Chain A
Amino acid sequence: MIRTYSSTSGRFDWTGLAFTILLAIVIAVPLLVVFTWAFTEVWRYPSVIPQKFGLRFWDQTLSRADVWEALSISLRLSATVTALSALICLPAAYAFARMKFPGRDLFFLSFLASHAFPKFGLLVAIAAIFLQLNLIATFWGVVLIQLVGTLMLMIWIPVAAFQAVDRRMEEAARDVGAGPLRVFWSITLPQAGPTIFAAVLLTFVSTFYETEGAWLIGAPQIRTMPVLMINFINNQVVIQYGAVLSVILWVPSFIALMFARRVIGTGAFAKGFGA
């Protein structure tokens, strides 16, 4: 394993600093604006900072039952979809990475297909089928539609992770007496672990924010957070509603990232994302 440590001695890395600042501006400024709006009661042009801060819109948002219900549905959906996706995709990814079977390449590419065509057309077609199966506006209907969207991510990233595991490490484990299952559990999975964890995290977060499928299949009974947010914005143009919901929507991302840092450490986590 190669570790690179940023040098604390020697010349200062000005280019790196410039990139850091640029990235910080591009990423942080929009977030900051939204964050500010969420705690604003009055903010009129041309003032740079709001005239009146306050939690009025938080009270209004959080007192609504549909917000809490949507949050609960979103969390349950994301957890279910991620778990199912991992259950289906991880063994498949291992098979793709390590086994040779007829039609392997074609089958592998087919996972890309769901992302290769305009998604909305596909969704409409699936919606028509779900209508006949009475899956429209049900929890499991939304689970199914969101599952399709996660397959590619959950196959391709773990396949790369499994392929990157040195075969000699696995052979060395067999050599000292570990059976195939033990090798997978003690060597392959820990080696591929950070990358797979990153894939699971990405799947959870992207499912949480998925809108099209959830809206088309779930509406009107199953309303996720992003769908609710669209409703809010469509019905009354009050920026604060959107901002408050947006800040609430950050929460799962933050929790996931914090959890990731605690569990596997920043270095391994960044490595999982290819850094």
Chain B
Amino acid sequence: MARLTIESLRKSFASTVAVDDFSLDVADGELVCLLGPSGSGKSTILRMIGGFEQPTSGAIRIDGQDVSRLPPDRRPTGMVFQSHALWSHMNVFNNIAFGLKLRRLPRSEIRRKVEEALELVGLGGYGHRQTFQLSGGQQQRVALARSLVLEPKILLLDEPFASLDQHLRERLREEVRDIQQRLGITTLFVTHGQDEALAMADRIVVLRNGQCEQADAPDIIYRNPQTQFVAGFIGQMNFIAANVEGGTFRHPHVSIAVGVQDGPAVLAVRPEALGLAATDGEAGATVLRSTDFGSHIMVDVELADGTRLKAMTSPSIRWERGARARLVPAAYALYRDNRLVDSGRVEGRATTAASLDVVRVTV
């Protein structure tokens, strides 16, 4: 039972601000992913919660108690490091037992707890091994067991799978998610891989330049990104920049009636929401490439102004290189100055109208 509250956290180094006014509430048993490009401050936030960095200002509360001035050894947090950071002069058993020995537990209890922790991460009977005899995935499991054996209130994972290969990473993230749910442990997970975040998190916090861009459930983050940055960072997204004139987003290839004031704006359409229709003549976008993924075909097209888009189409229609195509967006989001200003579905008739509009503009 642990609840983590972060209030107006700020961390500035000599010349840069790494984390700027960051607030977050993590409910008991929740797994929250901090997602962002490198330098977005996600690791710094995690290290401040673990006690390895001092916040410049703000508070970190665990179950209401402010821990932000406590050293790491006095905090009820357990951290798993990217590089696993196992102690190479101890065997697996001693790595996991170290924290228990510091707590002066009886020897028999230490033995029992270590064995339990090893069973939990699927390494039962590995206690006598040396850490360098283990594979990368096994080492990371030992690091996880080392943290879990102390039953921390908050589990912190700092890009724990970054050094593993793709296959192992997918397997391990499922296991970690299983363990986390079984134990019901409140967890904060730092990653720069969106797949990892989408697959594991109850909630994703997208960070940029030390600030929170959006904090929502994975499906909302994907389907309803609140900023242009989030839209581009999570999943694939097509962006078309143009002007809104008289209530219509006007671009030589696509025009959509939108409910925003006139001015520059960026239209965002997911590849799966972007349809293509054959057209003849010089109008339309040029097909650059079409890649067959079996279940769908990904068609790359180029607009007259050089903008490249991706469209996910059904395998029933083949697109040849150099063919002309009309853009048929089914859903869109409109951003201005990184903020979402409008979004909606494009009705069948409206699409036709819009495409007629295209024809009229371009001819």
Contact = CB atoms under 8 A, between A and B. Distances in A.
A111 B82 CA distance: 37
B160 interface: no
Nearest to A171: B52
5 contacts: A171-B50, A176-B147, A178-B98, A190-B87, A193-B89
A193 B87 CA distance: 13
Interface stretch (A126-134, A179-187, A214-222, A235-243): A179-187
A171 B81 contact: yes
B243 interface: no
B345 to A, nearest CB: 49
Contacts of B146: 172, 176
Given A1-B132, A174-B51, A179 B73 contact: yes
A168 B150 contact: no
Contacts of B99: 176-178
> How many residues of A sit at the interface, in one of the four size bands?
20 to 34
B203 to A, nearest CB: 24
A187 B87 CA distance: 7
Contacts of B52: 171, 174
Nearest to A174: B72
Interface in B90-124: 98-99, 102-103
B88 A1 contact: yes
Given A168-B81, A182-B102, A175 B88 contact: no
Nearest to B97: A176
B78 interface: yes
Interface in B29-45: none
Interface string B266-298: 000000000000000000000000000000000
Contacts of B88: 1, 169, 191
Nearest to B130: A1
B150 A176 contact: yes
B79 interface: yes
Contact of A171 (B78, B85, B86, B132): B85
A173 B85 CA distance: 9
A3 interface: yes
A1 B85 CA distance: 11
B77 interface: yes
Nearest to B98: A176
Nearest to A189: B89
Contact of A175 (B82, B86, B103, B147): B147
Contacts of A187: 87
- What DSSP secondary structure best describes chain A's contact surface? helix
A242 to B, nearest CB: 44
Contact of B73 (A2, A3, A166, A178): A178
B88 to A, nearest CB: 5
Interface in A143-188: 166, 168-169, 171-179, 182, 186-187
A169 B87 contact: yes
Given A3-B132, A182-B102, A186-B98, A175 B79 contact: yes
Contacts of A193: 89
Interface in B313-330: none
Interface string B335-352: 000000000000000000
A187 B95 CA distance: 11
B71 interface: yes
Contacts of B150: 176-177
Interface string A225-265: 00000000000000000000000000000000000000000
Given A171-B81, A172-B86, A176-B150, 20 more contacts: A168-B81, A168-B82, A168-B85, A169-B86, A171-B50, A172-B79, A173-B87, A174-B72, A175-B50, A175-B72, A175-B77, A175-B78, A175-B79, A175-B147, A176-B146, A177-B73, A177-B150, A182-B102, A187-B87, A190-B89
Contact of A172 (B51, B87, B102): B87
Contacts of A172: 79, 81, 85-87, 143, 146
Contacts of B51: 174-175
A205 to B, nearest CB: 25
